[in-house]
Copies of this chain bind each other. A is one copy, B any other.
Amino acid sequence: MNPWKCFEMIKIFVTGGTFDKDYDEKNGRLYFKKTHMNEILALGRSKVEVNIETLMMVDSLDMKENDRELIVKKCAAATEKQIVITHGTDTMTNTAKVLGVKHLKKTIVITGAMIPYKFGTSDGLFNIASALAYVQTLSHGVYIAMNVGCFYITK
């Protein structure tokens, strides 16, 4: 068996969003503790080499101009050519557009979830898995991966 060239290092930037929200027992609200990315990759027995970096942990409705600038700066500076960004769904397309106009020579896939991962019925696991597949196979450009579909933003 001839292994296909899949195993290039993938950068994962965590920015928060529904996907990573936890339940706070003290006040009954949802909040951010830390990312669940590592346990998700372990559950999926992912063999892909990843480099996870948490940039922020915010609801994407609270994402400010300078937050997006940080994301762009980090994507530009990353040595990896394949980047997955976890992001709140509300302003996912805004970040995609800001990234798109930079025309970085990289494949950037933004993903997230409608339901927190810690809820048994989350779509997050599915979306992360498809994002990790898309980032390895799509040509340079900025994409959004949700619901197993992949939406092209800019190339």
Contacts and interface: CB of A to CB of B under 8 A. Distances in A.
Task: Summarize A's interface: helix, strand, loop or mixed.
Answer: mixed
A126 interface: yes
A44 B65 CA distance: 31
A147 B93 contact: no
Interface residues of A, number: 55
A5 B150 CA distance: 8
Contact of A133 (B43, B118, B148, B154): B148
10 contacts: A2-B154, A6-B149, A21-B28, A44-B123, A45-B126, A118-B121, A125-B126, A126-B128, A129-B148, A131-B133
Interface of A: 1-7, 18, 21, 23, 25, 28-30, 41, 43-48, 59, 93, 114-116, 118-121, 123, 125-134, 136-138, 143, 145-154
